[in-house]
Amino acid sequence: MFNRPYTAICQNSNGFTSAISIDAPDGHDKARAAVKDKYPDLQVVAMIPGVHSGHTYVYDSPAVVPYPKSDSGGPWPENLPPGF
C-alpha cells in the first residue's frame, strides 16, 4: 500500500471549514479513514489528490437559522373586508 498527498476539505461541528494537507492511502474509503483517524473532531467534506491547501479558498457554513414560528392563530384583525 502506498500513500499519496491529498488536500482534505473538513468542517468542525460549528461549521468552520479548513483545507488540510495530509498523506493518506490511495482509495476512497482508506483516504477518508486516514483523515478521520488523525482529525477525529472534523467531518470530511472532500478529498482532492495533491497539495492545494496553501492556495485554496474555503467558506464556513452559514449559521443555523431557526425556522420562523408560525402564526399562533391569534385574533383576526378588525379591518378585514366582508367575506374574507
Residue 33 has pLDDT above 70, yes or no: yes
SS3 labels along 52-64: CHHHCCCCCCCCC
Residue 65 has pLDDT above 60, yes or no: no
Most confident range, picked from 4-8, 61-65, 69-73, 75-79: 4-8
Domain ranges in the chain?
1-39
pLDDT of residue 45: 94
- To the nearest 10°, report the CA torsion of 11, 39, 28, 52: 70
Enter the pTM of the model. 0.70
Residue 66 has pLDDT above 80, yes or no: no
Q: Three cell numbers at 8?
A: 482534505
CA–CA distance from 9 to each of 39, 46, 58, 59, 80 (Å)? 12, 5, 8, 10, 54
